[in-house]
Amino acid sequence: MRFVWGNDFRSYDVPVTRAMSAAGLRIGRDQMLILGVAVVLMALAQAFLLKSRLGIAMRATADNPLLAAVKGVPTERVIAAATFGGGALAGGAGVFLGFDASIDPLMGAGLIISVFAAAILGGVGSAPGALCGALIVGIVEEAGTMLIPPTYKTAIGFAIILVVLLVRPTGLAGARA
């Protein structure tokens, strides 16, 4: 990416708008759009996984690939479809991240710990849990910057991972062992 487009920071040409205020919090219209799209995509992904043949095959392959293959599920194609779908969702997330921040070749590197913390907190394998985990991690990280410098915000994600793995390793929406 760097060889083709360079190392320069880039951004979308979006008009500057005034943020909305609610209970002392300032929320941008772009941030509300991102949240709305994320909720809709999560609901669509959950419905896809629960109702469609391919979604059911994906869940079966994820749970027990050998048994799914024995039952006639083309596991290689299902894995390829899941990889393609995950890549498409990740690419869309990158586009929306560009609305809220500048675009550079390493823009997602700083989010890895927060995303991992959200997945662990919500429960790996649960789309609604991951959304709730992401909201909680995001709010705790942003509120935590009132107590610690913003450069140490990643430490909050590490702390969330540590606490969740010690207290409830399956996350909020995960099944108890």
Q: Which pLDDT tens digit goes with each residue over 40-49?
A: 998 898 899 9
Q: Which pLDDT tens digit goes with each residue over 104-141?
A: 777 778 788 988 999 899 887 777 788 889 889 999 99
Does the structure show a pLDDT above 70 at 176? no
Within a domain: 157: yes
Question: What is d(CA 152, CA 77) in angstroms, rounded to the nearest whole number?
Answer: 42
pLDDT of residue 164: 92
* Contact assessment for residue 121 and residue 167, using Cβ atoms and an 8 Å cutoff: no
One domain, residues 29 and 75:
yes
Question: What is d(CA 140, CA 135) in angstroms, rounded to the nearest whole number?
Answer: 8
Average model confidence (pLDDT) across the chain: 86
One domain, residues 63 and 117:
no
One domain, residues 86 and 45:
yes
Within a domain: 134: yes
One domain, residues 88 and 33:
yes
Concatenated DSSP letters of 93-123: HHHHHHHHS-B-TTTTGGGHHHHHHHHHHH-
DSSP one-letter code for 169: T
pLDDT of residue 177: 52
Does the structure show a pLDDT above 80 at 1? no
pLDDT of residue 73: 94
One domain, residues 87 and 118:
no
One domain, residues 116 and 173:
yes
pLDDT of residue 72: 94
Question: Who has greater pLDDT, 177 or 88?
Answer: 88
Name every residue whose Cβ is closer than 8 Å to that of residue 101 and which is 6 or more positions away in sequence.
107
Here the tokens at position 124 are 């790996």
Amino acid identity for residue 123 in this structure: G
| Inter-CA distances, 148 with 24, 75, 144, Å | 20, 47, 6
For residue 117, the enclosing domain spans 108-177
pLDDT of residue 104: 75
Q: Which pLDDT band, with edges at 50, 70 and 90, does 30 fall under?
A: confident
One domain, residues 96 and 130:
no
One domain, residues 124 and 61:
no
Q: Which pLDDT band, with edges at 50, 70 and 90, does 170 fall under?
A: confident
Q: Among 76, 103, 130, where does a domain finish?
A: 103
- The mean pLDDT value for 97-102 works out to 80
Domain total for the chain?
2
One domain, residues 97 and 113:
no
Model confidence, pTM = 0.72
Q: Which pLDDT band, with edges at 50, 70 and 90, does 97 fall under?
A: confident
Within a domain: 115: yes
pLDDT of residue 40: 92
Q: Among 37, 72, 103, where does a domain finish?
A: 103
One domain, residues 99 and 86:
yes
Q: Among 59, 83, 103, where does a domain finish?
A: 103
Question: What is d(CA 21, CA 28) in angstroms, rounded to the nearest whole number?
Answer: 9
Does the structure show a pLDDT above 90 at 7? no
pLDDT of residue 67: 95
